[in-house]
């Protein structure tokens, strides 16, 4: 009798071990399952507000081709985007610069994630004035004089904020170079706000990302071109020659206010972030940049688009 009980207990124990092993295997499988991939799931992205028109278009096309995905983009000043570099729920940043070595070290040490980045397109800062303004052609010394309040005429600089934005940072680093921005500078709430302010203020001069005003096939941007005027700046490589932020001059950096569009990805598996990053680098993504009159940097054999705009 005792022998039968012992055999029974052994069988029960074996069954329990088998069930436990099966449950552990199922749990391990669930633990290893990715929450998203190229074709399904959602991702939170922090993007520089000056890139909103082009990023909206990229997300729209990606989601239309992959209906089970959702790209949740929040638009902020660039400095605020980089604060999100340390937020777990935000896996991608779209800005004008890569991370610094110090920022990368914090990410690796604190979050055990090795971020990566890529410049996928070239953008420019467009200088805009009111259509009634007699001044719409500037050398870089003249532009610097306007920004420091030393120009012969009173022109009010208008930005999408007076601090923390990529546009302001670029102007301070690349144009002012140690000089101080005039206290008369106006901070609009957004790039749209800059356009609206310039349209109503003859003695103002605005600075916006070219993706807000450069696409001659976007009805909204075409309507803005009736209310503001894009100024010409002296060519970087051809003194005495003045250019607008057209695609060929952006690509060659002949236009003097040029910057990159960079994605930063902090994802430790091949998820939706990798999918969206790959899309921006793909032929379709690069074609979207080209159609928006930015300069694609990954695929360069599209050719340059003619602006076909009345001067």
pLDDT at 270 over 50: yes
Residue 15 resides in a domain: no
Name the region of 206 (left: φ>0; alpha: ψ -120 to 50; beta: rest).
Answer: beta
**Residue 103 vs residue 30, higher pLDDT:** 103
Whether 3 is covered by a domain: the verdict is no
> Is there a single domain that holds both residue 253 and residue 264?
no
- Inform me whether the pLDDT recorded for 37 exceeds 90: yes
- Give the mean model confidence (pLDDT) for residues 163-168: 89
> Are residue 237 and residue 287 in the same domain, yes or no?
no
- Kindly state whether residues 75 and 145 are assigned to the same domain: no
Per DSSP, 8 falls in state H
Concatenating the DSSP letter of every residue in 214-257 gives --TT-HHHHHHTTT-EEPEEE-SSSTT-EE-S-HHHHHTT-SSS
Same structural domain, 83 and 135:
no
Does a structural domain hold residue 5?
no
Per residue in 214-244, pLDDT (tens digit) is 888 888 898 988 999 999 999 999 999 999 9
In a domain, 4, yes or no: no
Helix (H, G, I), strand (E, B) or coil at 91: strand
| Tens digit of each residue's pLDDT (9 = 90 or more) over 7-25 | 444 444 444 444 444 444 4
Least confident of 37-46, 102-111, 126-135, 179-188: 102-111
CATH of the domain at 181: 3.40.190.10
Which range is least confidently modeled, 39-43, 238-242, 248-252, 300-304? 300-304
Model pLDDT, residue 305: 55
Q: Would residue 183 count as lying in a domain?
A: yes
Q: Give the per-residue pLDDT at 161.
A: 85
Helical axes 283-291 vs 272-281, angle rounded to 10°: 60
> How many domains in the chain?
2
Q: Give pLDDT tens digits for 120-158.
A: 999 999 999 999 999 999 999 999 999 999 999 999 999
- Burial (CB count <10 Å: 0-12, 13-18, 19+), residue 64: exposed
């Amino acid at each position: 009798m005792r022998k039968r009980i012992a055999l029974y207990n052994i069988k029960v124990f074996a069954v329990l071990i088998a069930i436990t092993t099966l449950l552990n295997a199922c749990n391990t499988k669930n633990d290893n399952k990715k929450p998203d991939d190229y074709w399904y799931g959602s991702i939170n992205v922090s993007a520089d507000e000056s890139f909103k028109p082009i990023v909206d278009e990229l997300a729209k096309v990606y989601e239309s081709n992959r209906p089970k995905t959702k790209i949740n983009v929040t638009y902020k000043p660039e400095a605020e985007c980089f604060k999100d570099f340390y937020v777990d729920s935000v896996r991608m940043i779209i800005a004008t610069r890569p991370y610094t070595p110090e920022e990368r070290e914090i990410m690796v040490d604190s979050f055990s994630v090795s971020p990566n980045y890529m410049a996928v397109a070239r953008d420019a800062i467009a200088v805009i004035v009111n259509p009634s303004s007699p001044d719409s052609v500037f050398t870089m010394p003249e532009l610097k004089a306007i920004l420091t309040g030393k120009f012969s005429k009173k022109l009010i600089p208008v930005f999408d904020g007076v601090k923390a934005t990529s546009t302001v940072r670029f102007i301070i680093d690349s144009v002012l170079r140690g000089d101080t921005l005039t206290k008369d500078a106006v901070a609009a709430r957004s790039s749209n706000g800059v356009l609206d302010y310039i349209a109503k203020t003859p003695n103002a001069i605005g600075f916006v990302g070219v993706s807000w005003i450069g696409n001659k096939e976007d009805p909204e941007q075409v309507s803005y071109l009736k209310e503001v005027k894009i100024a010409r700046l002296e060519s970087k490589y051809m003194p005495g020659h003045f250019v607008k932020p057209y695609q060929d001059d952006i690509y060659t950096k002949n236009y003097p206010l040029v910057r990159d569009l960079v994605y930063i990805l902090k994802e430790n598996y091949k998820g939706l972030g990798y999918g969206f990053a790959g899309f921006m680098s793909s032929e379709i993504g690069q074609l979207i940049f080209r159609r928006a009159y930015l300069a694609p940097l990954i695929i360069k054999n599209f050719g340059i688009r003619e602006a076909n705009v009345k001067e």
